[in-house]
Amino acid sequence: MEYAWRRQDCKYKETIEALDNVFSNPLYFFYEDFFTQTNIDKICDELEISRYPAECDSRVNASSYKKMPNSFLNAFGKSLKNKEVANYVFERFENVPWKLEDYS
């Protein structure tokens, strides 16, 4: 099976830099831990709206994967540019919810 990500490097670095140039102080979250009460509270605070308890523990149509498949990580990590992007993300953000060594 041929995946599109094998033919193309990710654009996270370019996307983050573009958002930084357009917005004065963007609020970034990672998909893997976006849906937590803490992050929902941050969003509500930024938008100055009332908080309601998030029902984050129940999942609908959840993937059977508990972590990214090794076949994806191995293919993704073979690209030098993708390794550079993973390093950029780790240097830029605190509490990255995935391990850099998974991409080596």
For residue 61, tell me if it sits in a domain.
no
Q: What is the pLDDT of residue 19?
A: 95
Name every residue whose Cβ is closer than 8 Å to that of residue 77 and which is 6 or more positions away in sequence: 83, 86, 102, 103, 104
Q: How many domains does the chain have?
A: 1
Indicate yes or no: pTM above 0.85: no
Looking at 39-43, 70-74, 96-100, which range is the least confident one?
A: 70-74
- Greatest alpha-carbon pair distance for the chain in Å reads 47
Please state, in angstroms and rounded to a whole number, the distance separating the CA atoms of residues 86 and 93. Answer: 11
What tens digit of pLDDT does each residue of 4-19 get? Answer: 444 467 788 999 999 9
For residue 86, tell me if it sits in a domain.
yes
What tens digit of pLDDT does each residue of 48-86 get? Answer: 999 888 887 777 776 665 665 566 666 666 667 777 888
Residue 102 has pLDDT above 70, yes or no: no
Residue range(s) defining the domain that contains residue 38: 4-56+67-103
